[in-house]
Structures are given as structure tokens and as C-alpha cells.
Structure 1
């Protein structure tokens, strides 16, 4: 049985899914480390970093950053191959909405109407600028605190 997903969950593996760790680590390498760098973040700064991820980066990635999703195509020898085509580009939120019975994957109390309002609140360009501004401010705050993180 599939677990109920929340659109803002980020790089968290699912219980009893042994192959999720590679997915989580690839997201950490490609996304989190790309935005925050590879330096160690001291524990006393973790709430500020988590706040940035929760309030700025996750909404940007889920509602505004397009991703390629594969289509399965049968090859000439009957093998199934994954193809990444232009028509398969969508944001994670758009992909979630396109799934059959997508409402069943939302947490209790969360509706697509609420999520649509969140997605439409800003354009992708404005969201990207806001994330960069928030990241700059986070790094300034970390630097003012005298840490070498990021």
C-alpha cells in the first residue's frame, strides 16, 4: 500500500523501502548540496537551515521547478525503455495532480484547492528570485554568527 504523501516532503526515505536511499542521496547531492554547499552545518544553525528548506526551497522545487518524468516505451525486441520527452516535463506538483486518485496521496486536511493557491501565489521567476534572496540572507546570518558553514 502506498503511503500518503505530502507535497512539501523533501529528501526523506520511506520505511521498508530499501532502494530509497539511493534516491534520497541523489537528491541530496543534486539539490540540497547544490543550494547549500558541502560544508558542515553546526547543530545550532540547523533550525535556520531547516526553515530555509521548508519555507523557501521546497515550495520552489515542488511548485515551480520543472522536472523530466520518464515515459516507458517498448523497444523493437520487446524491452521496456525509459524515454524523457519534452511533453513529459512537469513540476512535481503537476505530476502529482495528474496521477489517478491523486487526492488519496495527500495528508488529511490538505486539498488541491489549497495547493493550487500556493502554486499560483507567485510565478516561477519570482519564486526563484525569492529563494536566492532567502539563501543569501541565510548565509549572511550564518556568517554573522561566526560559523564556517556554507
Structure 2
């Protein structure tokens, strides 16, 4: 059940104290909308004249706001201070008007893909050496920016979606045309020599490969051999 609370009739500190004393075990779910919570805080601060209150009464107001808004005491202290300064309570950060320009373009990523295809995706230092030679030795203007590429950022470019889409390819597993084996219950027909083999892997520990336990049993005679191998 969801209940919307209207506290406009609460106008004295005594009423706030009575509210807090009467609802110690009531859990309030604050609004998900920050703007609505900010408007509630500003309304309470102005209604009770927070700036003129004593220290004890200010504590009551902050307890009430913490109870109804979901903000911590430190957050409320900062928000109340901004209300008293006349500053808006909206988010103060925003997307910068002039974001940082990308140093390496999509064309550079395409060139890196071309180099990796031609040389088989070499290690970082080897690839960086090839990119620098393309510009400094062969004067290929396409590699002017990539000639300044570091090994660490080379791996960053290889992780981009553009690079992965151009380099990574997936092939569906082809079904086996010829049957390799058939899984069914053994039928020895009264003859010895039909061996059933069960294997269990002990498991790995601390990077050390565990052993395999192999149990071979003759279906008819129940003659059994147990062995281990790595």
C-alpha cells in the first residue's frame, strides 16, 4: 500500500517532535525524483524559519527531513545551507559545452585493423614499431597520428567496438556428418570383454591440475580395475 503524506498542516516544532515520537518504527520510502525531494526540503526550511531557530529546534527539523527525504545528515546540512543562500537545489554538474576531442579517429582504428590483419595481430611493442615506421620511414601521412600511439592505448583501441566488429568473427559449429560414437547401455550377450569405463576428475587446486580417477569394469564378470592418471 502506498500513502502520500501531506505535511502542509504541520507548522510548529512541537508538531514535528510529536510526529517523530509517534512514527519511530514507520519506514518512509522517499520519492525517487530528486527534484521533488529538493522542493520538499526547501518548503520545510522556509515554513519553519530554519535560520531563526535554535540549535535544538534545528536538530528536530533535520531529523524530520532525514526521516521523510531519505538523505543523510551531512547531505541535508549542505542542501539546507544552499536553501538559506538562495541557491537552487538542482544538480550543479552538467555535460561540458566543449568535451575533450578524440585524439584517435575512426580512420585510425581502421588503419590499425588493416595493420593487424596484414601482420597477424602482433604484440603491442611490435605493432607500435610498425606504425612509427610507416610514418617516419615511409612517410605515409595516414599514420601521422598513430605514430604517436603508446602500447597501453593500442590495447584500448583494440578493445573498442569498431575494432572488435572488424576483427572478431564467429563461425557456427558444423555438425559431424559421420557418427563418432553411440551412447547406450552395454549389452554383452553373455560374453566377457565388454568393458564399461567411468572417469571422475578430482578437481584443480591452487592452479595445480588434479588427477583423473578411472574405473574399468567388465560387465559380465564384474572384474574391476581402478587407476589414476594426470
Give TM-score, length-normalised by structure 1.
0.22
Give 1 or 2 for the bigger CA radius of gyration: 2
Give TM-score, length-normalised by structure 2.
0.17
The structure with the greater share of residues assigned to helix is 1
